[in-house]
Amino acid sequence: MKKALKITGYFVLIIGALSMIVPFLWLVAVSFMKDSQIFSYPPSFIPEPFIVDNYRRVFTKLPLFRFFMNSFVIALATTVFQVLFSAMAGYAFARSRFKYKDAVFFVFLVTMMIPPQVNIIPLFFLMRELHWIDTYQALIVPGIFGGLGVFLMRQWFKGMSAEIEEAAKIDGCSVFKIFFTVALPLATPAVVTLALFTFITTWNSFMWPLIVTNSADITTLPVALAQFKGSFRETIMWGDLTACSVICALPVIVVYLLGKKYFISDMLSGGIKE
């Protein structure tokens, strides 16, 4: 009975994995096909012939490198600052004692329950008052504060043993030195997990960059991808569109693969328990 359940579980996992990876593999294959083969029946997963003209046209028709760098700079800056601020806030909630600490932390938790779409209009007016419309600040600053990051880091620090920190205090280390040299290195799995979530979310963000950007110089890759599709309303060049989609997806895959070990470690361990 246990063996049958185990086989069934593996079968369900394999089906789920295939349902996710097959569409992406087909997208990659289509990006190397001619338009005539894309709609052929029965559908083919092997490009015949194998061409790279779709990628060449994408870089020719669009300043794709500029869009790519915009997305990368915005995602990287947002990730670095959110991880730093969330780690500092989480450490304060886990280790410090101050008045109304629980009430303030509850406010952070409440922000996680508010749909992001609700904040778009007031946030847009705030950006306008600050004269940040169509600037990098408008794309970076709103994303560096988040209740999820504070909650994640607070839970990790709360589960860590305090003995090492107490030893550092006895040696005369300040709070900031303990945080940066002791607590933060021990929280590497949680830091990498938060960094992965933040980078992927920021990289894939579409609605907010579409609202606060006007010029092509600051356009992000997801917005450019939508504009690319809209520029061929009469005849959509699906090969070029899929090539652009693959380029847009590659950084996310690379970032996940780089941080996969720490991400899995965080999911399995849940912190260093006392």
Q: What does the pLDDT average to over 144-156?
A: 88
In this predicted structure, what is the pLDDT of residue 54?
A: 86
Q: What does the pLDDT average to over 88-102?
A: 88
Q: What is the pLDDT of residues 9-43, one digit of tens each?
A: 888 889 988 888 888 888 888 888 887 788 777 77
Which helix H or strand E contains 64, and what residues bound it? helix 64-95
Which residue from 251, 242, 255, 248 is spatially nearest to 28, judged by alpha carbons?
242
The proportion of the chain whose per-residue pLDDT surpasses 70, expressed as a percent, equals: 92
Within 10 angstroms of residue 55's Cβ, the number of other Cβ atoms is 18
CA distances from 261 to 76, 157, 196, 255 (A): 20, 20, 12, 11
Domain boundaries, the chain: 58-269
CA distance 269 to 239: 44
pTM, to two decimals: 0.84
Q: What is the pLDDT of residues 114-129, one digit of tens each?
A: 888 888 999 999 999 9
Average pLDDT of the chain is 84
Which residue from 253, 233, 255, 231 is spatially nearest to 58, judged by alpha carbons?
231
DSSP class of 130: T
Band (pLDDT 50/70/90 cuts) for residue 77 is very high
Which residue from 106, 112, 264 is spatially nearest to 189, judged by alpha carbons?
264
Taking only Cα atoms into account, the Rg of the chain, rounded to an integer number of angstroms, comes to: 23
CA end-to-end span of the chain: 38
Band (pLDDT 50/70/90 cuts) for residue 274 is very low
Range of weakest confidence among 63-67, 88-92, 265-269: 265-269
Q: What is the pLDDT of residues 175-193, one digit of tens each?
A: 888 888 888 888 888 899 8
Q: Is the pLDDT of residue 271 over 60?
A: no
In this predicted structure, what is the pLDDT of residue 267?
A: 53
In this predicted structure, what is the pLDDT of residue 273?
A: 44
Query: Which amino acid does the sequence have at 182?
Result: V
CA distance 141 to 143: 5
In this predicted structure, what is the pLDDT of residue 89?
A: 92
Q: Which CATH superfamily hosts domain 58-269?
A: MetI-like (1.10.3720.10)
Name which residue leads in pLDDT, 1 or 21: 21
How many residues are given for the chain? 274
CA distance 147 to 3: 42
CA distances from 247 to 199, 214, 225 (A): 16, 23, 10
In this predicted structure, what is the pLDDT of residue 81?
A: 96
DSSP class of 249: H
Please list, residue by residue across 161-189, b when 16 or more beta carbons sit within 10 angstroms of its beta carbon and e when fewer do. eeeebeebeeeebeeeebbeebbbebbeb
Q: What is the pLDDT of residues 220-268, one digit of tens each?
A: 988 888 776 655 445 667 788 888 889 888 888 888 888 777 766 655 5
What's the number of CA atoms in the CB half-sphere (13 Å) around residue 218? Answer: 18
In this predicted structure, what is the pLDDT of residue 265?
A: 62
Q: Is the pLDDT of residue 104 over 80?
A: yes
CA distances from 8 to 145, 189, 249 (A): 42, 31, 32
